[in-house]
Amino acid sequence: MLTLKKNHITTAVVAGALVALGLVSSAIESALAVVNPAIELSNDPVGLAVSPFFSERLSLDPGSVIDGEFKVYSIATETMNVFTELAPYSLNKTTRQRDFNTETPRTHIAKWATLELKNCDVTKREDARIYFTMRPREECIISYHIAVPADALGGSQDAGIFVQNITPDGDEGISSAYRIGHMIYSDVSGPEAHYAGEITRNYTPSLLIDKPIVAQAAVENTGNLDFYADYEVKIANWFGGEEVFSKSWQSQILADGGLDENTTWNETPALGLYKVSQKINILDQESRIEKLVLVVPLWLLIIFACVILLLMWAVVLKIKQRREFKKMIAKEGEKNVKNHKD
């Protein structure tokens, strides 16, 4: 009886330990993965969101250290394999596009920073990437630590922290990837830091054939500090002055970069005469244009050209007839004079 009781006690102790271990495991799992029921799922099996989308502009000094963090949410309907990484961010002067691959003197911050994950189920670390899994409605915290070198030069430093899902190829060998990022903008103090820029284009064509009205703008950042450009485009009907289109916005022009902005009025009618104005402001500069723009369909232009040609032909024919008539009158006059002498 005593032995049986000991066995019962041993079994109870083991069972209790297993239950406790299960509770601890559940607690650890809950601590690693936070599921937020308030997150609205998308209809896509893959989907991510970050908050906030970008950090406040950071003011850095050489040798300084700063930390920050943001949240990433799974709005997917299925569990995903995900990775996060740092990438340089610049405006390519040649392609006029945002560039997340090319390293420049203004993207060194991508090398100064390191990443850590909280409340995430990390699966592995490889090179500069951290891999983890996310369930539907799960939220993770990505923290970053920036250590600025003591010899860092003054000027802006920009980068992006990207989160991307990993999905296997489908039946046709096509994978569905979803990539989203948290942008980091910063200014490093130093005597080299300075603002400089130029508005290189402010234009719209005066005649458009079967095309919508487009206001073109181009801005160059010739300094090493980021700045903002303010744009305003207005289009009014020439007959009556009614405003039919208006848009104003602001774009960040990254240091050592350039940006083109083409504003299109997609609802441009096939025929019309409009007054187009565009205003661009950067730093202490302003560029403003006002222009009359004629929009005409090709068929109407062809008809107009044919009418002009017909009128020109009629004028030439009329001139020719008048010359022949004058020659005829002159001959009749000479004949009458000769008959009079005879």
Would you kindly state where each structural domain of the chain is located, as residue ranges? 25-188, 197-296
Phi/psi region, residue 261 (left: phi>0; alpha: psi -120 to 50; beta: rest), is beta
Cβ proximity of 283 and 197 under 8 Å: yes
CATH topology for the 197-296 domain? Immunoglobulin-like (2.60.40)
Phi/psi region, residue 338 (left: phi>0; alpha: psi -120 to 50; beta: rest), is alpha
- What's residue 44's pLDDT? 64
- What's residue 254's pLDDT? 96
- What's residue 176's pLDDT? 58
- What's residue 169's pLDDT? 54
- What's residue 36's pLDDT? 63
Side by side, the strands of the sheet bearing 80-88 are 58-60, 179-188, 155-166, 80-88, 129-134, 121-126
How many CB atoms are closer than 10 A to CB 61?
Answer: 14
DSSP codes, 182-227: EEEEEEE-STT----EEEEEEE--SEEES--EEEEEEEEE-SSS-E
CATH topology for the 25-188 domain? Immunoglobulin-like (2.60.40)
Same fold, 25-188 and 197-296: yes
Successive 10-residue mean pLDDT values, the chain, 342 residues? 36 37 37 58 74 89 96 89 94 88 94 93 90 92 96 96 78 63 95 96 94 96 96 95 96 94 94 96 96 89 85 88 78 66 60
- What's residue 76's pLDDT? 86
Tell me the C-alpha distance between 202 and 217, whole Å: 5
Reported as a single tens digit per residue, the pLDDT across 138-147 is 999 999 999 9
